[in-house]
Chains A and B, each alone.
Chain A
Amino acid sequence: MSEVKKNENTTAPKVDTRKMEINKFSLLFNKMGIWIIVIALMILGMIVSKGQFFTSSNIQSILEAVALTGMVCSGLFYVTYSGNMTDMSVPITMAFGGVMAIQCINFGFIGAILAGVLTGVVIGLINGFMIGKMRANAIIWTLALNLLLSGVIRVVWQGKMLYAEKIADEAHQNSANLFYSISRTYIGGIISLMAIVMLVMFVISWLILTQTGFGQKLKIIGTNYEVARFSGIDCTKQIITAYVINGVCSSIAGIFYAALRKCASYENGTGYDFDALTAILLGGVALTGGKGSMVGTFGGVLAYGLLNNCLSWIGLGTYTKYLVQGIVFLFIVWMNTYSNRKLGKA
């Protein structure tokens, strides 16, 4: 207050009054973010499961349940971080990745995987070019592309399911079986390959974000596009790169999804766009871009799985689960916003 008195001629106080309301909880939540919730959920899990929470089967169950969402998050993070909110074409990227992988099963297992990933790259390039270069509205463009590609799959494959073993010729039946097995492989009999791939993808994404100039540039673009542009950053290139990474991650998730379902169709991946965005926002990433971390995003993904697991242990019915999940997620997002505001970061 004394500082305000010294500046009586000014019309506004120079002190950011929001910072004066800092309390320890805001500071702690802002520093630890979603991990406070993760720890709280683990404690809750231990209580409600009567000690069975940290059994290998339960941990495995949690990781497997969030593996596909996690894979998508590791790429979608960049889109949100770049200030383009989200990618509505995630479901069709997953579907197309799976469809192309199965369709190309006669090129062998590696050929099929590469075809699936390449599909993600092409979709990422299209999205990146239209949004990064042509400045198309990210939501409307990706939504339109989702519809367009959904139509393409339905027309080309006549709305039918694609089964690898039916498409594979005699010589490639083993490739089909190998393809299906990727979602059923357990390393050391304990942790699933899907969960490991998700963790590896998060580590790679974290390295790209923190150890490369791309990550820094994307932060500036996400924070203020015009400033980034006038600073000499090639915004188009960075945004295209973000969408290509997102396309690759989504298509990998789509390949695992198709392998798990043992078939591919246009409906694979439905709902993963919103699941992944929810996990990303839970992790403290700002929808407006430029704020958030890969570690936080991973925390958001874990919280997603942990909450589901805890509610199952409590024995809630499906709809009560939805209700509780909604309340918890709203609370987390509110806490993120509240603590940022208290710290003058928002």
Chain B
Amino acid sequence: MMKKSLAVMLSGVLVLSAGFMTGCGSSSSAAPEASAESEAPAAPEASAAPEASAAPEASAPAETSAATGEVPAAAQESYAKLLAAEESLMTTDNHPMMAEGLSFDIPAVDGDSAYCEENYEENEAAHWHYKEYIDWDTANDATFPESPADGQIGKKVICIVHGAHAWTTCYTDAFKAACDAVGMEVEVFDPNWDQSTQDGYIDQAINERPDAIALIPLSADHATQQFKKITDAGIPAFCSNTTPEADAMNYIIAYTGPNDWYQMRKLADMLGEKLGGKGGVAYITHNVGGSPYYARCYGPLTELAEKYPDIQTLDIQSPGFEAADVKQVVSDWITKYGDQLNAIVLADDSDQAIGASEACKAAGRTDIVIVAAGISQQGLDLVKSGDLFGLSYQTCQGDAGLCVRTISEWFCGIDINRVNYLSTDVCTADNVADFEPCQW
């Protein structure tokens, strides 16, 4: 009996000591990192959405304006609250959390997805057209629920994320903060990276009959079924963060999230210039099959192939996100390719970047130029120390903010764009201070 008590006590010691070390009691309440800088200003008159902020440079398709249209009288109070939230809510790194989304023109291609993949090489942008652009056939759009056009105040949204991660914690905190600021109620479901659990949560969410459902799909391929189910139930569905397959857009009111392809192309342009248009590049990818896998590998690869034909692709590997595994792959590359290896493109700026930079340092190859996607603390530190040449700014809190903004605009009866991208900044040593302190 005494020994049983001892076991229970030991477990308790662990929990209590952890709580004591962190001052759990005082800080365990949900405290979103994003902060309201000031009191909400007086509601401006209802008008069309503000103009787009940052204009993307480089090889970009033309940027178009985002949401437009008159706000109905019933939604004016809500819209004023939304504009006030847009003014006041800032991300941890002091960027507007609910900034207007960007959209891009889609270039024409001469065939469907199968045609493009069959007739174009992997190093040609057209090969990946239907993965890069959410280029769906609007003729197949489902019958979407109509906007009540009475504003978002008092509405309930269920947000289904993909899984537990520090990024997700940051995202959900920001989502809650943004909903709170615009007067919406929110419930968050976390399936912990399990597809069937996410499907179950979708059923549960539908049964709760919320006013809208925002979903970060775990799988681009499976997203069509998930969004179809939500839309068929008469609930407006919004897709956040992860790009679904194009057909899924037939069942989605709007997509909001980063333009991974565009940002990685920007990084590739910087890289090509840095390399002087020649050299060897190797790629460490994201998890194979997901939208970041294609965007963060074939985005820069096709860009370099088009603009810098003398830059050669040496290898593409997918060792995952363990720093030690990435370090081994890069060390092996350095030994194998020697001076031929001039640059590395990474799908992740935290563990992958640490592994790659440590391998380069250990081999005395600090001349290798490394670029990565993301905006983690580790990534920023590596940019500051010069180990990373550049990384794409993918604002986590802004991602949540844009989703809430788009949902709110829809509730206000404004014509929203079906695809809304986040700003497309790139972080380098010159502007790293603009992205601190890190969001997660």
Contact = CB atoms under 8 A, between A and B. Distances in A.
B358 interface: yes
Contacts of A99: 18
A122 interface: yes
B325 A122 contact: no
Contact of B324 (A65, A123, A148, A313): A65
A33 to B, nearest CB: 24
Secondary structure class of chain A's binding surface, majority of residues: helix
A293 interface: no
Interface string B286-317: 00100000000000000000000000000111
A150 to B, nearest CB: 9
B260 interface: no
Contact of B317 (A57, A134, A267, A317): A317
Contacts of A109: none
A186 B13 CA distance: 37
Given A104-B21, A159-B169, A184-B358, A64 B324 contact: yes
A257 B315 CA distance: 27
Contact of A65 (B21, B327, B335, B354): B327
Given A161-B377, A192-B362, A154 B164 contact: yes
A262 B354 contact: yes
Interface stretch (A124-132, A203-211, A324-332): A124-132
A265 B18 CA distance: 13
B440 interface: yes
A64 B331 contact: yes
A10 B7 CA distance: 54
Given A64-B327, A65-B325, A160-B166, A57 B335 contact: yes
B19 A65 contact: no
Interface string A312-345: 1101011100000000000000000000000000
B324 A155 contact: no
A129 B440 contact: no
Contacts of A160: 166, 169-170, 440
Given A260-B324, A261-B351, A267-B165, A163 B377 contact: yes
B332 A153 contact: no
Contacts of A312: 328-329, 332-333, 336
Contacts of A313: 332, 336
Nearest to A157: B22
B171 to A, nearest CB: 11
Chain B contact-residue range equals: 35 or more
A158 B27 CA distance: 9
A267 B14 CA distance: 18
B358 A309 contact: no
B354 A261 contact: yes
Contact of B328 (A61, A257, A267): A61
Contacts of B30: 158
Given A260-B358, A261-B354, A155 B14 contact: no
B166 A318 contact: no
B354 A161 contact: no
B62 interface: no
B65 interface: no
B282 to A, nearest CB: 11
Nearest to B358: A184
Contacts of A271: 322
Interface string B328-350: 11011111100000000000001
A132 to B, nearest CB: 10
A312 B316 CA distance: 11
Contacts of B22: 103, 156-157
Given A65-B325, A261-B323, A161 B24 contact: no
Nearest to A61: B331
A312 B358 CA distance: 18
A185 to B, nearest CB: 11
A19 interface: no
B3 A262 contact: no
B74 interface: no
Contacts of B6: 129
B24 A156 contact: yes
A68 interface: yes
A186 B328 CA distance: 16
Nearest to A58: B335
A260 B323 contact: yes
Contacts of B4: 134
A163 B350 CA distance: 13
A56 B440 CA distance: 38
A126 B11 contact: yes
A274 to B, nearest CB: 13
A152 B21 contact: no
B108 interface: no
Contacts of B316: 317
Given A100-B21, A152-B15, A260-B354, A161 B440 contact: yes
Contacts of B325: 65
Contacts of A216: none
A218 interface: no
A60 interface: yes
B378 to A, nearest CB: 5
Nearest to A136: B7
Interface string B1-33: 001101100110111011101101001101000
A154 B329 CA distance: 31
A308 interface: yes
A267 B440 CA distance: 15
Interface in A45-65: 49, 52, 55, 57-58, 60-62, 64-65
10 contacts: A57-B334, A58-B331, A103-B22, A119-B14, A122-B13, A134-B4, A159-B166, A267-B164, A305-B328, A312-B333
Interface of B: 3-4, 6-7, 10-11, 13-15, 17-19, 21-22, 24, 27-28, 30, 164-166, 168-170, 288, 315-319, 322-325, 327-329, 331-336, 350-351, 354, 358-359, 361-363, 377-378, 381, 440
Given A103-B21, A158-B28, A159-B164, 8 more contacts: A99-B18, A159-B166, A160-B440, A184-B361, A262-B354, A263-B378, A265-B166, A317-B317
